[in-house]
Amino acid sequence: MAGNLRQIQLQSKSIKNIQKLTNSMKMVAATRFKQAERLLLNSRPLGVGSRKFYDLVGVGLEPKTPVHYLVPFTSDRGLCGSCHYRTCKLTTSRMKERKQEYRVVCVGEKAKMIIGFTNPKDIRLVVNGIGHRNPTFRTASRISLHILGLDKFQECTFYFTHFVGAMSFEVKQLKVYSSTVMEKSQKVESYEMEDSFESYVEFSLAALVFYALSESFSVELFSRMNAMAAASKNAGNLHKALTGKFNSARQSLITRDLIDIVSGASVVAPKKKKARMRTIVQPEAAVDSV
């Protein structure tokens, strides 16, 4: 029984330490989310403008490309709920259609782990170092250059989480084309093209990558904040239950020991001998003869 008490005490102490850790992670995620939210407010107009350009130019544009690249945006870190899994799930469901030859560009180690579990041969590029710091336009430019340098790249689809509001997000997808494909669009043919068109397409691609990174980073921090808050609450409830269990077992042990002590004392104590009645026989009085 004493060993069981010791085990409960160690488990309770461990749960208490986990509660402190998850609470600290929640506070850090909340602080970083405030910074990411300000960054998202600044990057959204840039991404929305570039997306509008692709939507207008890409109307009726259905290129017959042999290879279609899928780009899921995740990070290197976990403990943030299901945001990474939902992004990769939508990507893998698209790969099951097999309408084209699909190749994957994993932005973040989590996408590599999830998609690589079922489709390791379809991964062509993995971008590491995502999620440790706030996304920058320089990082987005490097990623866009790698995408443009892919073999037979003509079109790709971005998959990223979009921050909707309190306690909610959704996975969005965005089609992106290369400059050679967009030049064939009727919307572009109506204008006089210059050498700057290709540069503008490259800049728009970098802007969309930066927009997707900012959106997914904000959702990740928000999900981690909620996940750590729930974990801290569960750890507190479990610690409270273990404390009650420990006190109950301890009281039971003390009661049992007291019973044993009292019972043992009654057995060990020497019995008192009963006093025997002593009969004193007085000798008959001597009779003097007359």
Phi-psi region of 129 (alpha: psi -120 to 50; beta: other; left: phi over 0): left
Q: Which domains does the chain have, with CATH numbers?
A: 47-233 (3.40.1380.10)
Query: Cβ atoms within 10 A of the Cβ of 205, count?
Result: 25
Containing 162, the helix (H) or strand (E) segment is strand 155-165
Contact 219, 83 (CB under 8 A): yes
pLDDT one-digit tens code per residue, 81-135: 889 999 999 999 998 887 788 999 999 999 999 999 998 999 999 999 898 889 9
Residue 257's pLDDT band (cuts 50, 70, 90):
confident
pTM: 0.80
Pairing of strands 101-107, 67-72: parallel
pLDDT one-digit tens code per residue, 13-60: 999 999 999 999 999 999 999 999 888 888 888 888 888 877 777 655
Contact 242, 12 (CB under 8 A): yes
Phi-psi region of 149 (alpha: psi -120 to 50; beta: other; left: phi over 0): alpha
Question: d(Cα 207, Cα 192) in Å, to the nearest integer?
Answer: 24
Question: d(Cα 60, Cα 67) in Å, to the nearest integer?
Answer: 19
Question: d(Cα 244, Cα 237) in Å, to the nearest integer?
Answer: 11
> What pLDDT does residue 289 have?
45
> What pLDDT does residue 189 have?
63
